[in-house]
Amino acid sequence: MTTSLREDITVEEKALLAEVGYEEENERAGTCVLVDQAVRHIGLTDNAVEILPLAEALRRYDWVQDLMFGLIDPDEDERIAEVAESRHAPVGHFVRVLEGAKVRLPIQLFTLLAAPQGRQFHHNITVIEKGAEVEMISGSAVPRSVHAGHHVSLSESYLREGAICRSVSIEHWAANMEVHSYARSRLEKNAHATDSVIQLAPVKHHVSQSRSYLEEGATANDQSVIYAPVGTTRIMDSETWLKGQGSRSESITRMVTAGGVISNRSTLIGDASGTSGFLGCNGLKLTDEGEIFSVPALRALNAQAQLSHEASIGMIDQEKLSYLMASGMSEDEARDLIIQGFLNLDEQKIPEAVREEVIRAIAAARSGAM
Amino acid sequence: MPAKPLVLADVEIAVGPRVLLRRLNLTIGAGETHILFGPNGSGKSSLLSAIMGLPPYHVTRGEVRLGGERIDNLPVDARARLGLGMAFQRPPELDGVTITALARALRADAGLADAAAVLDLADFVRRDINVGFSGGEIKRWEILKLFLQRPQICLFDEPESGVDLEHIAAVGAAMERLLGRDGTGDQRRSALIITHTGFILDHVQAGMGHMLVNGEIICSGDPNRLFAHIKSHGYTLPPWASEPAAAASDERIAS
Ligand SMILES: Nc1ncnc2c1ncn2[C@@H]1O[C@H](COP(=O)(O)OP(=O)(O)OP(=O)(O)O)[C@@H](O)[C@H]1O
Ligand SMILES: [Mg+2]
């Protein structure tokens, strides 16, 4: 595999990215860093992994053009159309894991918005080939000096037959930014995806829309932890299509508002026999300000689809609070511990490498330091 | 923090408009261990919860004093910081909050491994508190929690119920150690212990027992004698028992 770019990222940039999962590149199978409107850096340590700027991948492989806008309609909305306009010269990464490869170290992918009031339009494509297995860590970050900007991203992921992908994404945008992200993934026969999404930092307005399509025997597990302080609005809309026989999914979303607005609409569609799916949406509302609007929806198109959901929104349980306070901690300390517990991700699903960043991000979010 | 006497003087305890306990006079001197007996529903847990300051229990009459300071209007965390601690009968499950996280929050991580080993909970420190714990494991954890907290006055709500025969000695030994009776030189803590089985009497040296019936302490006296009486005669007034309002206990309340 060729490495097309080796322009370095600065020490400051590395420090910033470390908060969202960056590790030294000998600890990673591959690294890609997008800064503003360019692919700044690509590094590879594993021959089974290929990472290219998408524009170059299009030139190199004629089949990549069939993947681009293969899962997303360029005319779906005006923002997507705006990104689609520059489809001849897209900015974004192309990640490919070769057939049958069991990639030992994670791949890490980052987006940095470094220009104040910058505008980013990214298009990313990922292909995990037949039988390959990989872990991915993706993070987005903004220097402290940048407060406002706009980020739009489209990402299309293809998990070929029997592919396994475990991914974690940590987003740390700036308090006055607008973000629109569109994610599409196709899980082919017996493919398996585990996704963890961590969105704890303040952002003015974040709209994320995702669609996944599961073919025969494919399984998807995802868990998201979402935090909205005062001034943050997050709008999430996801659809999981159980299209192939026996495909299964489980999705858990934990939302905490400390005065911000969270709207979460997730739909599970059972479109084949022997499919089963579960949606769990739990919200914790800490103050009277803000809002949680949670709409878990089930749609059965097949008589043999088993779908269920569980949803709740509540405040911090007084009994738990008193229990902790009876051991000598203050009410604030007890609250922190309960919120942290609520937002805790299932540790087994998080690669070792990002666990610490996650704990730190949660700690910072609950203390209002982010 | 030196141990202080805990005094209840003519205390009434209510939940909302409902009075659960009344005319309670009780003094637990510094370093003393008292046992509380009583049938189901007599108000034992409510009494401990009210002393601890847990909602929804309120002291609606009389006073609770700790070393002379009135505490019945203080919030639960303030009482804990003054030296009260409680092993709960039925504690809540804390999803996502591990034993280790709680120990860290109490700045007691240093002693966690040792204390956990004593209570055979070494493998539990990464587990969420009380989530999926068996009945006996909950009891052992509640005592471990007091080791982390190190309160001067320990309130135990049925610490041995549901604990198997092998672990009961460990629970007894741990309580003895916590209360500073095992000669390790730790300072003596006071305790008020609720028990139905009396098992705990074999492990901790208790100086005084009280029988609570229908929300009132009907008699006090030697705990072993009281327990022997309950075993043969149920929760009835023993002929030898001192009445709660007897001169001796009045004197102690006044002091
Ligand atoms: N929060 C509450 N609201 C209303 N009633 C309560 C409340 N807590 C306790 N009670 C009632 O007060 C009485 C005493 O309850 P408590 O739990 O103190 O009994 P106990 O002596 O600890 O019993 P057990 O031996 O079964 O544990 C019971 O009738 C119970 O139903
Ligand atoms: Mg009880």
Q: Which among A319, A325, A342 has the least Cβ separation from residue B92?
A: A319
Whether the per-residue pLDDT at B175 is higher than 50: the answer is yes
B102·A324 Cβ contact <8 A: yes
Confidence of residue B253 (pLDDT cuts 50, 70, 90): very low
Q: Which of A248, A201, A261 is nearest to A222 (CA)?
A: A248
Rounded CA-CA distance B201/A329 in Å is 31
Taking the C-alpha atoms of residue A191 and residue A134, their distance in angstroms, rounded to an integer, is 12
pLDDT value at position A357? 60
Structural domains of chain B ordered from first start: 6-248 (3.40.50.300)
Q: What element of type H or E holds A176?
A: strand A176-187
Taken in order B38, B39, B44, B45, the sign of the CA dihedral is positive
Q: Is the model more confident about A131 or about A84?
A: A131
CB contact B107 to A (< 8 Å): no
Least CB–CB distance from A331: residue in B77, B91, B145: B77
Report pLDDT for A359.
Answer: 64
> What pLDDT, on the 0 to 100 scale, is given for residue B248?
42
pLDDT in tens, B14-58: 999 999 999 999 999 999 999 999 999 999 999 999 999 999 999
| Integer Cα distance of A46 and A103 in angstroms | 8
Query: Tokens standing for B208?
Result: 């005084």
Q: What CA–CA distance (Å, rounded) separates B208 from B192? A: 10
Q: Which atom of ligand 1 is nearest to the CA of B196?
A: 25
Is residue B250's pLDDT more than 70? no
The whole-angstrom separation of Cα A211 and Cα A76 is 13
Residue showing tokens 């903004």: A142
Which residues, 6+ apart, have CB-to-CB distance to B219 below 8 Å? B210, B211, B226, B237, B238, B241, B242, B243, B244
Tell me the average pLDDT across A75-80: 91
User: Who wins on pLDDT, A20 or A320?
Assistant: A320
Give percent above pLDDT 70 in chain A.
91
Contact: A325, B102; criterion CB under 8 Å: no
Q: Which of A322, A331, A334 sits opposite B55 (nearest CB)?
A: A322
Domain residue spans of chain A: 1-200
**Where does residue A103 rank: exposed (0-12), middle (13-18), buried (19+ CB within 10 A)?**
buried
- Complex prediction ipTM: 0.93
d(CA B113, CA A99): 46
Question: Ligand 1 pocket: which of B19, B35, B37, B44 to mutate (most atoms <8 Å of CB)?
Answer: B44
> Do residue B148 and residue A327 have CB atoms under 8 angstroms apart?
yes
- Nearest residue to A320 (alpha-carbon basis) of A267, A284, A277: A284
Query: What is residue B188's DSSP assignment?
Result: P
Cα B47 to ligand 1 centroid, rounded to whole Å = 9
Q: How many CB atoms lie within 10 A of CB B126?
A: 10
Is residue B78 classed exposed, middle or buried when 0-12, 13-18 and 19+ CB atoms within 10 A define those classes?
middle
DSSP codes joined into one string, B12-46: EEEETTEEEEEEEEEEE-TT-EEEEE--TTSSHHH
What's the pLDDT tens digit per position in B101-127?
999 999 999 989 999 998 999 999 999
In A200-327, beta strands by DSSP E = 205-214, 219-229, 233-242, 248-258, 261-270, 276-285, 291-300, 306-314
Asked if A223 contacts A349 with a C-beta cutoff of 8 angstroms, the reply is yes
Asked whether the predicted pLDDT for residue B141 surpasses 90, the reply is: yes
User: How far apart are the C-alpha atoms of B79 and B51, rounded to whole Å?
Assistant: 9
- What tens digit of pLDDT does each residue of B71-102 get? 999 999 999 999 999 999 999 999 999 999 99
Predicted confidence at residue B240, as pLDDT, reads 84
**pLDDT of the residue at B254:** 38
Q: What is the mean pLDDT of chain B?
A: 90
| Mean pLDDT value of segment B197-222 | 93
* Closest of A48, A18, B122, B219 to residue A33, by C-alpha: A18
